[in-house]
Structure 1
Amino acid sequence: MRYRNSNMRKCLATKTIARCAALFLFCLLPLKGICQTGESTVNTLVEMGFENVGWTEDGKERVYVLQNSAYRLNGVGIGKAVDIIQKMGLPDKKPCRVIVLDNNVPQISLYYKPIIGDSVPEASRRDWDVSYDLGGAWKEARKIGRKNSSLFKVDVVVYPEVSLKNLIITQIYQVLFNLSPAVEVSFWKGMRLTAQVVIPVYNDGYGRRAGKVHPGFLTLQQTVRLPYNIWVTGTLGMFNAERYGGDLRLLHTFKDERFSLEGRIGLTATQRWDGFEWTYGTKTRMTWALGANFYYPHYNVQASLKVEQYLLGEKGVRFDLIRHFRYASIGFYAMKAERASANGGFRFQVALPPYKYKRKGYIPRVTPSKNMGIAYNAGNEQYYYRGYRANPGENIMQNNSFNPYFIKSELLNF
């Protein structure tokens, strides 16, 4: 009888230990699951081609950080990332935020807050709020380690360039068509080095120099984001329109994110390439622009009004009205400056395929430019209203690619 009782006590003790161990493991499983979910989501995003990907979590929310380097259109790429996060990376009964970077600089955030009673599978794209506001998350998220860094990775971007002019009665158009590959690389946060060469393919009426292979943009650009939704971009180097010097741009969005202010100032001088022989001037010209923008989300229409000073010193006013679509941006403009007749025209940008591409480690990636466009000068003005671009990728479509209202519309209309 004693032997039987002894065995029973041993059996009960064993069961008690097993139950305690099971309870202990059960308590650990949710924590382990959350860690695996966040890390596995990051790994999946990296496999898809996203760069600068990381995650962190505290008692208030889970935060993902990523940069779209896999899809040509930011709206499409961000939508793909949201799908993955909804499928496998949402925290349990806690908000989730996605901070989207461009060249390691934060642009916008997407915020999902579950409703009590909702389960993870019920989350959809329409449940995410998109804003320039990063909340308090970026202060901690900027410190986390990130996978698949974009630094030191080289892109060779081929820019197709078409110029047309109608100045001869006996000829409909004089045409210049170039293919201009540019090496683009970033060595630190917000920095980009661009070195371009212009290769003429067809030159009918643009002169001897335009028919020679010659350097194009050669710039060093730095972008920083300041508090209160302010972005500052400074550029030094050789620009288009035969100018070299410095350029400084500023963009500020208000609490009502439909409204924004922008300013620009440049100090440049003339330069000229005859093949690879370079001549330059020392007399500098100051140009500047100051304006306001309004965005109408229902139709993705942007209106802007600016006062500007151009390269010949004339001051003027410019109005732009642009509608943005997924694969194109189309708009009209009107200008009036002192000593010059009123002028205007239309402009458009069209996204170029391929729309998805992937980088293989640090092997240079060769792609066409994200989009291509033309600005039509209806007044045929050749003397006044002259300006320059500080970067080959600077255009109306690219400038709108991180607009929160545009990204939200892309999430809903996928």
Structure 2
Amino acid sequence: MHSSKLFSAVLAAGAASVVSAASNACSKDIKVTTPNPVISCEVVDANVIVDESVAGDLLLNGPKQITGDLIINNATQLISIQSSTITSIGGNFELDSLELLSTVNMQALKTLNKLNMVKLPQLNTLIFGTSGVTKANDIQVTDTFLSDLSGLNINSVDSLTITNNNKLTSFNSDLVNITTLLSVTSNGNNMEINMTKLQTAAEIQLSNVKSFVVPSLKTITQSLKFDTNPQLVTFSAKNITTIGDSVTFINNNKLTNVSFPLLTSVGDLTIQNNTALGAVEGFPKLQTVSGGVILRGNFDSVELPSLKDVKGGVTVFSTTDISAFCGFFNDAKSKKIIQGQESCKSNVKTANEGGSDGDSSTSSGKGSSGSSGNNTDNAVAALNVNNVLLGVSVIAGMAQLW
């Protein structure tokens, strides 16, 4: 009887020691040094770090959850990464400088905190779960060979950066909310972005994009920037009502139309060097600009019919004759609708370049600081000539003394 109780106690103690050992093993960082490691615990309450020496096909089976990071960096001989068990990564999933990596197949993965895929020049296959990763905070995809990001099936993200992926020419996303940043720059030619469910965003930065379709977007808390999109022809944001900081269209040489039919307030408005844009007429309800307005280009028509308050300055230069519209800005300045400096000029050869308007500008009319045009330029030229003549006279007088 006593021996039976003693035996049971020994078994219980042994079981407790096994659980404790397993618990300790899963609460410490795991360093992977072989391509097919044995990780016996379902939950790794720590980091999993793959050594740089691991080569070939890496199989990470066993754990279902990693509460810390999964880091695979500088393993230059690694060809593929696979796991059929990992469903969530609580920290960073980091893949950096893996020169031969061609495939990432995490077929059970559904949630992660941060995804960093950087310098993966051979990566062409990315598989996440049956319906893709549905939850993530920050995602960066930079310098890969990917042509498809359908595995990123997320509806909310803090930051999403997609840069320098030369084979990537389209991105279709069900994102609804972007709380910090969307940056899509310098990917494949004619990049097309469709985010038909996107409703709110903070900062949006786009370059080398052919189209950006966001029919449900209503609010941008920071900025919307289109900089150097050579194939962009048109952009429409039919439901956006407010933009907290700036709207910027610079160096989009095929852009012919910009439309914000419901936009009422913005921080700054800059439209410059969009050489095919013949008119700035897509802001019919814009009332308040808390910063300034810069419009420079080849346009021959500008319409801001609802403008009531500009806290900063206004600069409007065109290579064409916009003198008829410059009267509107001069009048707005005199009525103190424009509180900062105001300058509106026609026939400015360097209007697309920014900076000085050169010697070719013509006056827009009266009442604007900087609208004096050639009169100011001539006065400066006359002053310079007088200074030169005065210097010559002084030198001649001194010569006579000798």
Range class of TM-score, shorter chain: under 0.3
Give the TM-score of the pair, scaled to structure 2. 0.24
Choose between structure 1 and 2: higher helix proportion.
1
Choose between structure 1 and 2: higher strand proportion.
1
Give the TM-score of the pair, scaled to structure 1. 0.23
